[in-house]
Structures are given as C-alpha cells and as structure tokens.
C-alpha cells in the first residue's frame, strides 16, 4: 500500500524469515476467521485453502504475498529505539536508518506474559508458556494443567484431550465464548454486519442466540461474563474463546475445569477453593503483553499504562508515526490490518511537504 502511494519502503524484521510469529504457533492452529475475510490487500488467499486456513497455510500465504509484491525485508534487524531528530525518524537496528515516516507493525503476539505464584519455584514439574507449545507428544501419559481460557488455552487443552492426555483448565474469572459459525455463516461475518452498532446493543441482541447455541456454560463450572463478547474486545482488549470443540470435551469429562490458582506445591497446585491436585506440567496460556514504550522513549502521550498505542491505523500525535494492527479487532485481525494499511498509506502520502519517493 505504501508503494502504491508513491513511497519508497524499507521493512525491518528482527527474525530471519517472513511470518515468524505464525511459524512459532502450535501445529493444529487454524484461523478463527474464514479465508475470504483473512486476505491482505491486493492478494486474496488461494481458493485451494480450506475455509479456515491452517497455521502452515498462513505461513505459505505470507511467503506468497512477499514474493508477489517483491517485498524484501531487511532480516535480522532488531529495532531497539526510534527517535525524532531534525524532522525525521532515526531507527536504531544494529545500523541506523532514517525516514520521515515510520510504521510500527510488530503485532500483539510478542512478549509472552508469564505470571508468578507463591511456590512456583518449588514445583518439580515443567512450567511453560503456551508460546512454546507445539503438539501433545511431550505430554503423553502426563497430567497437565492449562492456565487461561482464551483461544490458545482452549485449543491447547482440546489438542491434549484429543491425544488422550489427562488435562484440566484453570479458569480465573468470568468468560465469554463464541461459536466459530452461527446459522452457517462465520461469526466474523456477523461481527462485520454489526460493526456500526453500539457494543452493548450488539451483545444484547446476541445474548439469547449464544445461550441457545452454546447452552448453559455455568453447568460446566464456568462463569459467564457480565460483559458481552463485543464489549470484552473493545473495552478489555480480550478475545472471547472461539469454540471448535472445547465445550464438548468439557461436557464429556475429557477436559476438567478448575478455578484460579492460589499457590504451587512441589508436585502440583492448590486452587483458590482449597482443592489440591498433582500435575506433571503446567502450560501458561496467559497471553502476551508487548510494551512499545521502550521503542519510543522520547514520545509521551502515545501509549496507555500497559505500553500499548492509544491509536492504531490512524495518525498519532507524533508527525509521520503510525501503528498498524496493534489492537485486538472484533472484526478479524488480518482484515483490520489490511484496512489500517490502506488508511496509513493514504495518510502518509498526504503529509505536507512530502518529497517524491519519500522513505518509510
């Protein structure tokens, strides 16, 4: 989109390949948004892909995308700081780059968040973040606790249960769950349809439909959040669980449901309700907390208290600086990234006194 707007673009990528985040995800992962709504600008996902492409197919698509548009990132360029100097941006990444326009598109799946509990250092089993999980093979014949009820937690627990692993989910608080499809249409289609309605109204309309479709999750030991799915995304930056079989496995007893963790013991966990259980391994599906303040130490007013940008996909308070895809979207992350990319390119091209072939 930048090139189409007449900008000369350099892409800095700290990894050595295209799509490194997707290469790290667990093996069974598929998009929760359908193929038709997940392509990036200018190149649709191949029609040969299934309705919900796999992790490996997303990697393949990103490689095709880079080749199609002759995008050649500077690999191994780990950006440490971005500072304003003489009306331009100086980007430190081993060597120094300079440009009038900078777009930070580092994503929301970096910087794994690993909480701590009393006694976790005494636990004799294995504690790993979900970003290190690939498949059930290392966990066969072991008792596993998955902490967190987001999409990674729900799907990893399902993956383990399908492989015959004894697994339980530690769910700290109220949750929201969405089916991947409603009335034969991807849930993302309904989200796009409702996009311009207030979140409270959308959640009120959908509440009885979801209750009918999913049943009473309270009967499974889960607590339904007072906030609906749309409000949860917009207000808390949390994505509801897209159910692709986890609830059925909970109903069947193949996945246990537990409450919050109070503390660890050498051989297991004590839960907040006083229940004690032994586990051989704990997988922390506790999300990611990328803090971008370290990249822009001299630019106040750009970030919230967690270091996430206040504005993404639009002009910021700093001239020539943009963020793309840095907030969770209720209408699909890849789709929103494409929309933001088009908007940012148009804004950058319209900057005053922008010389031809300015660099970004």
**Please, what are the domains in the chain?**
12-18+73-110+289-349 (3.50.50.60), 120-284 (3.50.50.60)
- Strands 185-186 and 261-265 come out as unpaired
Residue 327 pairs in a beta bridge with: none
Which run of H or of E encompasses 136?
none
Residues 6+ apart with CB under 8 A from 326: 104, 105, 106, 107, 108, 292, 308, 309, 312
CA–CA gap between residue 103 and residue 324 (Å, rounded): 7
As given in the structure block, the two tokens for residue 191 are 């989200």
Task: State how far the Cα of 333 lies from the Cα of 20, in Å rounded to an integer.
Answer: 17
Residue 98 phi/psi, 5° resolution? -135, 135
Q: Which of 73, 25, 72 is nearest to 53 (CA)?
A: 25
User: pLDDT tens per residue, the chain (360 residues)?
Assistant: 999 999 999 999 999 999 999 999 999 999 999 999 999 999 999 999 999 999 999 999 999 999 999 999 999 999 999 999 988 999 999 999 999 999 999 998 878 999 999 999 999 999 999 999 999 999 999 999 999 999 999 999 999 999 999 999 999 999 999 999 999 999 999 999 999 999 999 999 999 999 999 999 999 999 999 999 999 999 988 889 999 999 999 999 999 999 999 999 999 999 999 999 999 999 999 999 889 999 999 998 999 999 999 999 999 999 999 999 998 888 999 999 999 999 999 999 999 755 445 567
Task: Give the per-residue pLDDT at 237.
Answer: 86
- What pLDDT sits at residue 358? 58
Which is nearest to 24 in space by CA: 56, 2, 67, 47? 56
Q: How far apart are CA 91 and CA 143, in angstroms?
A: 47
Question: Could you count the other beta carbons within 10 Å of the beta carbon of residue 167?
Answer: 27
The pTM of this model reads: 0.92
The two tokens of residue 178 are 């969405």
Return the structure tokens found at 35: 């193929």
The secondary structure element, H or E, covering residue 357 is none
Q: Determine what percent of the chain falls in helix, strand and coil, rounding each to the nearest 5.
A: 30, 25, 50
Length of the chain: 360
For residue 300, what pLDDT is reported?
86
């Amino acid at each position: 989109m930048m090139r189409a707007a007449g900008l000369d673009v350099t892409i800095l990528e700290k990894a050595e390949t295209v799509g490194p985040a997707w290469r790290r995800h667990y093996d069974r992962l598929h998009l929760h948004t359908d193929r038709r709504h997940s392509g990036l600008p200018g190149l649709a996902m191949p029609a040969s892909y299934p309705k919900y492409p796999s992790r490996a197919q997303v990697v393949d698509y990103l490689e095709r995308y880079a080749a199609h548009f002759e995008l050649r990132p500077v690999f191994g360029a780990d950006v440490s700081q971005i500072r304003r100097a003489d009306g331009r941006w100086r980007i430190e990444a081993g060597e120094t780059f300079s440009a009038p326009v900078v777009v930070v598109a580092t994503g929301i799946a970096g910087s794994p968040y690993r909480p701590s509990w009393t006694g976790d250092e005494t636990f004799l089993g294995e504690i790993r973040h979900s970003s290190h999980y690939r498949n059930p093979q290392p966990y066969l014949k072991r008792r596993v606790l998955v902490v967190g009820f987001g999409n990674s937690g729900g799907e990893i627990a399902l993956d383990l249960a399908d492989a015959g692993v004894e697994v339980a989910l530690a769910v700290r608080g109220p949750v929201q769950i969405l089916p991947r499809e409603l009335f034969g249409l991807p849930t993302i289609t309904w989200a796009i349809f409702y996009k311009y309605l207030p979140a409270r109204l959308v959640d009120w309309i959908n509440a009885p439909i979801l209750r009918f479709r999913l049943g009473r999750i309270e009967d499974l030991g889960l607590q339904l959040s007072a906030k609906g799915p749309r409000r949860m995304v917009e207000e808390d930056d949390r994505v509801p669980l897209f159910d692709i079989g986890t609830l059925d496995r909970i109903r069947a007893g193949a996945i246990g449901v537990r409450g919050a963790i109070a503390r660890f013991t050498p051989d297991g966990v004590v839960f907040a309700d006083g229940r004690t259980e032994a586990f051989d391994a704990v997988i922390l599906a506790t999300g990611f907390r990328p803090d971008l303040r370290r990249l822009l130490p001299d630019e106040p007013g750009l970030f919230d208290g967690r270091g996430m940008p206040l504005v993404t996909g639009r002009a910021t308070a700093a001239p020539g600086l943009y963020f793309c895809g840095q907030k969770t979207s209720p209408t699909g992350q890849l789709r929103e990234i494409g929309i933001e990319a088009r908007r940012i390119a148009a804004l950058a091209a319209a900057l005053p006194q922008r010389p031809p072939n300015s660099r970004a």
